[in-house]
Each structure stands twice: as C-alpha cells, then as structure tokens.
Amino acid sequence: MAAGERGPPVIQDIIAWLSDPAHWTGEDGVLRRTLEHLGYSGIALVIAAVIAIPAGLVIGHTGRGRFAVVNLAGAARAIPSLGLLFLLFLFLAPRVSGDAAFLWPSLIALVVLAIPPILSGAYAGVESVDPAARDAARGMGMTGPAVLLRVEFPCALPLVFSGLRSAALQIVATATIAAIVGLGGLGRFLIDGQKSRDFPQMASGALVVAVLALLVDFLFALAQRYAVSPGLTGRGARATMRHTEVAVRAAAGETEAIRPVDRSRSRQ
Amino acid sequence: MTWFLDHIPEVLDLTYRHVYLAGLPLLLGLLIALPLGWLARRYRPLYLPFTAGFGLLYTIPSLALFILMPGFLGRQILDPVNVIVAMTIYTVALLVRTVADGLAAVPDHVNNAATAMGYGRGKRFFAVELPLAVPVISAGLRVAAVSNVSIVSVGAIIGVQQLGMLFTDGFYRFFYDPIIVGVVGCILLALVFDLVIVGVTRVLTPWLRASGGHP
C-alpha cells in the first residue's frame, strides 16, 4: 500500500525504529520494558489466581454462590478497564506516596479484571466434572476435600487454564493502558510516543506489545497442553479412554484395575 | 450528579458515538463471521486454522491495535474508521468459532429431514441451519457486544470521541464526576446492547418459547 502524505508509512517506520540498537538497551529500552511488563503482569496474575482459583473450586464443589459467579463474570466484562484504572488512581494517588501512586492503582485494576475469568474457569471446570467420577471417588472412600483436590481439580484443569489464559491476556492489555497513569512496561512507548508525537515509537511499541500478547497466549496454550493429564487432553496411547476413568484411576494411583465405564451413560 | 445534569447534551453526543463505534462493528463482524464460520464447519480441515487463527486476533491488546490500524489503513489517527475496523476484527475473532459451533450443533437428522423434503444446500442453510444456530450465535454475539462497548472506551487515550473521553477528561482534571458518569454510561450501554440481542433472539426463535426452552 502506497502510504500518502496523510497516512504514516507504518512498516518502514517500525523497521527503522526497531533496527536501532539504542532503542533496545538501557533504562527505557525494549528489553527492559518487556521485562517490566511481564513482571507487573505476572505479579497481578499470581495474586488473582491465589484469590480466584480456590474460591472457584470451592464454589464449584459446594454449589454455593453459583448464581453470584455466573453474574459476576458477565457483569465484569462490561466494566471499562480505563475507567476503573482512573477511578482507582484518583482515589489512591493522594493517599500513597512515590511509586506507589501509580503502582497500587495499576496492580489493583489488573487483579480486579483478572479475577472474574479465573473464577469462572475454575468454577465451570469443577462443575463440568462427570458426576460418575465424583461418585466413584466417594465410593472409594474419599472425603469432600480429597474428592475436590484429587479428582475434581485435575479434571477441571483444562478450564482452569483457559480461565488463566484469558486473564493473562486481559492483564497484558490493561498493563499497556496503565502506562497512562505512570506504570512502566511496554505501554510507555505508546503513551510517551504519543506525547512527543513520535509515531514510529508508538507503532513499534504497539507491535512489540501485540507480539508479546501472542507469545503469552502461545505459552499458556502450551502449558495447558502439558500440565493437563494425558487422559484429559487425549494425548498419549489410550486417547480414546474416557477421561473420568482416567481421572479416577490417577486419583487412586491405580493403572488397570478399573473396568471401563458403561459408555451408554456418557453425557448427552 | 450536578455535573451530569449540566453536561447531558455532551454525554448524549458521546453515547451516540459510542453506540455507533461499538454497534456497527457487531453487524459487520457478524456478516463476515457467517461465511467464515460456515466454511470452518463445512470443511473439517479448516475448522482448527479458522477458529484458532481468527481467535488469535483477539489477543492483540486494544490500544496497540488502535495505534497500528491507522498506519495499515493509511488514515489519520483520529479517523473513526480505524476504530470501526479494529472492533470488527475483534468481533470476527470471537464469532467465527461461535458460528461454526452453532452450525455444528444443528442435529444431523434435522438436516437430513430438510434434504429429504427437497431443500437444496442454499435454502437449507438459510431456512433450517442458520435459524437453528441462532441461540448459539446470539450467545457469542452477546459476549462480543459487551466486550466491544468496554474496548471502544480505550480509544479515548488516542482521542477518539466516545464515552471513554469522560475518563480521560476526569483523569487530567483529577475530577471524579465525569469518570463515574462514563463508567455508568458504558455499563448501561452494554446492558442495552445485551437486552437488544436477547430480544431479537427471542423474536427469531419462536419455537424456543413454544416448547419451554427445548427445540
């Protein structure tokens, strides 16, 4: 596409900006900013996961608070992240000093936005566990917490991971926006570039953020594939085996003792 | 509250722009996702590359897409077309999988019955498969609608006029009122979009009401 005078020749700009080694190193280089971005995102994801995974598992296990979770997850999507970030900033910035003025509002916004997808992933994961697996576990003498940790949680892992994955993407995107209140990370290139009318810097930063998001997504897909029991993903030799049997066997530490579950009773 | 009462015309104008920027891409995205979803359903080898491939577009952070779009489209950064295209991309990213899964959820015996009644492939698609896929497609469209309303507001950072401008306005003046009005406006707008889609779905699926939820 021949870029006219009005349209910025974005690709040449990006190539030129990114091929300047000075933009990669130092305090405000791409490498340092990428690490900052990953650091803030990682901290927020861990905090959100520590809160939301146990809560989601317990809600899925007991069935209590189900209504609240379903509605919360839907309603949370409607919260505009930029508005939430600014409200937290206005409220917290005068109350704390130094770096905390932008750090706290940003991290809280990231955690708040990450909790609903993780919570609903964990909850839906436990709820989708085949009742037969649960019954089998109880029949083997497992108590409630043991059923949750050794059968329901492993069976719920695929959905727990997909919750974490959407939360991670939400965090990476919102951390970019948080540069406007002063957070470090790759968003700096977008916001600072805009202030100084440096379009190549903005566009290059935007491209790097997009690539980072794709990589994060890819890593989560990979982790999901390898962290989840082979019986659940269909990897491995006994791919056709129904996952519930496998889970119960895995839970019991057995291999071949259980007979195949009656296939006619599979979920509708 | 007084701030809101003093600025009603301005807020309404921003709301109108917000509806346009979030709503038009929903329609465009649905129109683009229908044939793509149909292809993904019809030709099995296309399912994974289509659903996963288009799904990847959704991972691009919105601010990054808003900034890159003008460059690729050769337009000025404040041109609303950039936001329309970006939001259409997000809508397609969400809906291709939904459309393919919705079509796949139509029972084979229903399709066979339609074929036996003499429906050609085209007529069967529009008269049988698509209407029966409406509940699933509508569920995906609701997710896309709510997420569009929220994402459009990020455009305020680069100066695109819509409710998000109230956020930046309040932020730069250290003033709560416009931000709160903007957040409430966005949430209400998402609710209205959701209700409209639910209403249209009800009209399009009379059999669901007649049979109490089971086709």
Check: complex ipTM more than 0.85: yes
pLDDT at A150: 86
pLDDT at A8: 53
Domain B2-210: state its class.
Answer: mainly alpha
Annotated domain spans of chain B: 2-210
Q: What is the mean pLDDT of chain B?
A: 92
Tens digit of each residue's pLDDT (9 = 90 or more) over A136-146 = 988 888 888 88
**Residue A90 placed within a domain:** yes
Range of the domain at A170: 28-256
Rounded distance, CA A58 to CA A78, Å?
A: 25
Contact B56 A217 (CB under 8 A): yes
Query: Looking at chain A, which residue has its C-alpha nearest residue B193?
Result: A78
CA distance A3 to chain B (A): 6
Tens digit of each residue's pLDDT (9 = 90 or more) over B45-69 = 999 999 989 989 999 999 999 999 9
pLDDT at A256: 38
Rounded distance, CA A189 to CA B129, Å?
A: 48
Q: Is B156 on the interface with A (CB under 8 A)?
A: yes
Mean pLDDT within A87-111: 92
pTM for this entry: 0.85
**Residue A210 placed within a domain:** yes
CATH number at residue A99: 1.10.3720.10
**Residue A177 placed within a domain:** yes
**Residue A240 placed within a domain:** yes
Contact A86 B179 (CB under 8 A): yes
- In the block, tokens 């979009």 appear at B193
Q: Is the pLDDT of residue A108 over 60?
A: yes
pLDDT band (50, 70, 90) for residue A147? confident
**Facing residue for B60 by CB, picked from A190, A203, A210:** A210
CA distance B111 to chain A (A): 19
The overall longest dimension of chain A from CA atoms, in Å, is: 75
pLDDT at A73: 79
Q: Is the pLDDT of residue A263 over 70?
A: no
Q: Is B187 on the interface with A (CB under 8 A)?
A: yes
Cβ-Cβ contacts under 8 Å, B18 against chain A: none
Burial B76-110 (b: 16+ CB within 10 A, else e): ebebbebbbbbbbbbbbbbbbbbbbbbbeebeeee
Instruction: State how many domains chain A has.
Output: 1
CA distance A199 to chain B (A): 9
**Facing residue for B170 by CB, picked from A78, A84, A86:** A86
Contact A89 B171 (CB under 8 A): yes
Contact A77 B147 (CB under 8 A): yes
pLDDT at A163: 93
Q: What is the mean pLDDT of chain A?
A: 83
CA distance B22 to chain A (A): 13
Of residues A10 and B200, more confidently modeled: B200
Cβ-Cβ contacts under 8 Å, A120 against chain B: none
